[in-house]
Amino acid sequence: MAQLDLATIVDCQTIWLDQYIGESGNNEDIKNKFRLIMSTLITFTNVEECLQFIRSNNQKKLFIITSGTLGRQIVPIINDLPQLNSVYIYCSDVARNTSWAIKYPKIKDICDAEDELLNRFTNDIAQYIMTQGDHYTKIYDTVKAKFCYSYANELFTRVRS
């Protein structure tokens, strides 16, 4: 039997939209931490390119991290898309960004602390992977279900430690 790969079993994608995130050497530590959760972290510095990617990936559930500035531009456009699971605003001014973000239900967190963002994001991804495990259980694919449950539990453990 071929080795299971999370990217082929779980139908989600992580996107990070920030003016500076794509620059080499910028935020490498946090990007690497997020890649430990979901190996496929795609970064964008441009709203239009990100929108094009989002629209072309309607078969996956998308988890998006964005800056407040770019989030203010993109969230109103993507909030009602069925492929959008959740948005996390990572910014330096939580109060200012809360004022516009509060009306968008898919925004799950607005934070200025790396650890808070990482923990919330990890927990939400783990919960989503658990639902994928439930799906595989219902269709009697126990190998994939166990893989999902095991990975989700590993993520929950990371959040607690």
pLDDT tens by residue, 10-34: 888 889 999 987 666 767 777 777 7
For the chain, the structural domain boundaries read: 6-114
Scanning the structure block, which residue is given the tokens 């080499």? 24
pLDDT tens by residue, 4-13: 566 677 888 8
Q: 1 pLDDT band (50/70/90 cuts)?
A: very low
Are 70 and 49 in contact by the 8 Å Cβ rule? The answer is no
pLDDT tens by residue, 88-133: 999 999 999 999 999 999 999 999 998 899 999 999 999 999 999 9
Its pTM stands at 0.89
Looking at this protein, which amino acid is placed at residue 124?
D
Q: Which CATH class, in words, describes the domain spanning 6-114?
A: alpha beta
Helices 94-101, 68-78: axis angle to 10 degrees equals 10
Separation of alpha carbons 39 and 52, rounded Å: 21
| Confidence at residue 3, expressed as pLDDT on a 0 to 100 scale | 52
Query: Cα–Cα distances in Å, from 42 out to 22, 53, 61, 87, 96?
Result: 9, 10, 14, 14, 26
Query: Cα–Cα distances in Å, from 51 out to 17, 86, 126, 151?
Result: 10, 15, 25, 29
